[in-house]
């Protein structure tokens, strides 16, 4: 593997890693939001 190929491969790898981390973070945020809305609904029903 030439130096250029290796650099291209590495930058592609880092790019993919970053995307995966970003997606994972987004999914965590989404699931947190769903949990809070579920909890809010639950408490609202308790107060009614």
- The pLDDT score that the predictor gives to residue 30 is 86
pLDDT reading at 48 higher than 70 = no
Which tens digit of pLDDT belongs to each residue from 4-22?
A: 999 999 999 999 999 999 9
Which tens digit of pLDDT belongs to each residue from 19-41?
A: 999 999 999 888 887 777 777 87
More confident residue, 43 or 6: 6
d(CA 39, CA 32): 11
d(CA 20, CA 26): 10
- The pLDDT score that the predictor gives to residue 12 is 94
Looking at the structure of the chain, the number of domains it has is 1
- The pLDDT score that the predictor gives to residue 43 is 75
d(CA 35, CA 15): 30
Domain enclosing residue 13, as ranges: 1-48
């Amino acid at each position: 593997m030439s130096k250029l190929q290796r650099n291209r491969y590495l930058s592609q790898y880092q790019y993919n890693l970053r995307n995966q981390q970003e997606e994972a973070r987004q999914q965590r945020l989404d699931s947190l939001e769903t949990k809070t809305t579920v909890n809010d609904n639950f408490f609202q029903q308790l107060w009614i």
